[in-house]
Amino acid sequence: MKTMTCRELGGPCGEALSAETWPDMVRRMTDHVIANHPDTAKEMETMHNDDPEKWGKEMRPKWESTPEN
């Protein structure tokens, strides 16, 4: 299990999100952003339409370097 904050994943708040795997974390962050930050969700959608790999490429190394807890 790893824990990262919304902010570490490019979001605007400090809420901690935990997941077992990277795809799971992506889902959690996506749900969290849609539920709490509609403006950020829109920005991420635009970014995704522009380059579907961009967010993952930027955020995945942070996931990899986060220690298991």
Q: For binding to Zn ion (CB under 5 A), which residues are involved?
A: 6, 11, 13, 15
Closest separation in Å from C-beta 46 to Zn ion: 18
Beta carbons within 8 Å of 69's beta carbon, 6+ residues apart: 1, 2, 3
Taking CB atoms, the residue at the shortest distance from Zn ion is: 6
CB-nearer residue toward Zn ion: 11 or 59: 11
Q: Which tokens hold the place of 34?
A: 């849609």
Residue 66 DSSP one-character state: S
CB-nearer residue toward Zn ion: 6 or 59: 6
Closest separation in Å from C-beta 7 to Zn ion: 7
CB-nearer residue toward Zn ion: 13 or 20: 13
- Distances, alpha carbon 26 to alpha carbons 14, 48, 55, in Å: 16, 13, 10
